[in-house]
Amino acid sequence: MSTAVDTASPTAPEPPTRPAGRFSELLRAEVHRLLARSFIRVVLALAVLGWLGAVVLALTQFSSPTPERLAEARTAMQQSVALSERFRQDCLDDPARPAEISGDDWCGPAQTVADLRAADFLDPPAFSLAAAGVEGAIAVGVLSAMLAFLLGATFVGAEWSSRSIVAQLFWEPRRARVMGAKLLVAAAASVVLGVLAQLAWPATAGLLQALVGDGAPLPDDFWPELAAAAGRGVLLTLLAGLLGLGLTNLVRNTGAALGIGFVYFAVLETAVNVLRPAWQPWLLTNNAAALALPGGLELSRPVETVDAAGRPVLESAVYVLGSVQAGVYLGLVTAAITGLGVVLFARRDVH
């Protein structure tokens, strides 16, 4: 049955129809939505508080090497050398020492003050920017990646739990566009988070070096290595943020996404490490570590071979997971999970 019902005045001019908003407006709304979320504000505030707490803690754990403290350290160093020499002498005098083995081979070479650094005998120690710079950037990269995963997951998870993402389709029915805007904003937010964290680290480390540092000069390759570690940390943060959003969008629930993450990292990866060590290069944690660490990650696993006599022997096979390889792999995993979520969102009915 088809019945036309026209109640309008036949002469009334019809106003023109309006299309959906521009993509830039959609992006602006997504940024607004991200920044207005209380949970995200609380998490970021807690991260800043945690950072300040860590700085205060570091200030209590390190102390600058004053001339008096350095003198004490040198005394402690000399006492250590003397103690070491006494033990070595006891070792050399031991009648059980085989005659054919030299004293240096059996008891080790004699230690002198030239072999040691007075700074190592400071208590509390002085902060060393040269030693902690790159390691700190890696740790900061891992922490910001974890934070980005959480933010990415809750960003879209909150929309699914409140179903406000459905209401958004009343305004922009092109679903790929809606999800594209969310992904872009999540990616930008992750990069900003990663960059801020990587800028905050040298600033903090510089402060510690100035207040409680060892005053030692930095090696020539310090800044390039720090910049490389920071860059890898930002990339890891970006991928983690997108992975959090992609996984949550796929399962349409923050709790479920975090649960899947927990089961994967706590159960599946452990099981793979124990039962299928050959699969270690495919684990996300190993790839994340390989991306973050300079030179990648060295993985070893037992391999059964045969010796010259044909007898089976168990050897350790070493596999180096390079940073580039890990970055590409993590990128592909993120793209696959995110892409699947976008395709399903674009094609399936929404209720």
Binding site for other proteins (CB under 8 A): 1-9, 12, 14-15, 17-22, 25-26, 28-29, 32-33, 36-39, 158-159, 162-164, 166-174, 349-351
Strands 312-321 and 297-306: antiparallel
Cα–chain-centroid distance for residue 227? 15
Of 134 and 165, CB closest to other proteins:
165
Of 156 and 288, CB closest to other proteins:
156
CB atoms within 10 A of CB 289: 19
Write down the least CB distance from residue 27 to other proteins, Å.
Answer: 10
Write down the least CB distance from residue 189 to other proteins, Å.
Answer: 16
Of 7 and 60, CB closest to other proteins:
7
Q: Of 234, 73, 197, 209, nearest to 132 (Cα)?
A: 209
Write down the least CB distance from residue 156 to other proteins, Å.
Answer: 12
State how far the Cα of 131 lies from the Cα of 118, in Å rounded to an integer.
15
CA distances from 11 to 6, 18, 135 (A): 12, 21, 76
Q: Please tell me the total number of residues recorded for the chain in this structure.
A: 351
State how far the Cα of 169 lies from the Cα of 175, in Å rounded to an integer.
7
H-only helix segments in the chain: 23-36, 38-61, 67-92, 103-107, 129-162, 164-169, 175-212, 222-251, 254-262, 269-275, 284-292, 323-347
Of 4 and 114, CB closest to other proteins:
4
Q: Of 247, 241, 228, 248, nearest to 293 (Cα)?
A: 228
Write down the least CB distance from residue 256 to other proteins, Å.
Answer: 18
Write down the least CB distance from residue 277 to other proteins, Å.
Answer: 37
Of 22 and 117, CB closest to other proteins:
22
Write down the least CB distance from residue 73 to other proteins, Å.
Answer: 55
Q: Which two tokens stand for residue 54?
A: 């860590």
Of 1 and 306, CB closest to other proteins:
1
Of 3 and 316, CB closest to other proteins:
3
Write down the least CB distance from residue 343 to other proteins, Å.
Answer: 14
Of 9 and 60, CB closest to other proteins:
9
Cβ-based burial of 10 (10 A; exposed 0-12, middle 13-18, buried ≥19): exposed
Write down the least CB distance from residue 180 to other proteins, Å.
Answer: 14
Radius of gyration of the chain (CA): 30
CB atoms within 10 A of CB 78: 14
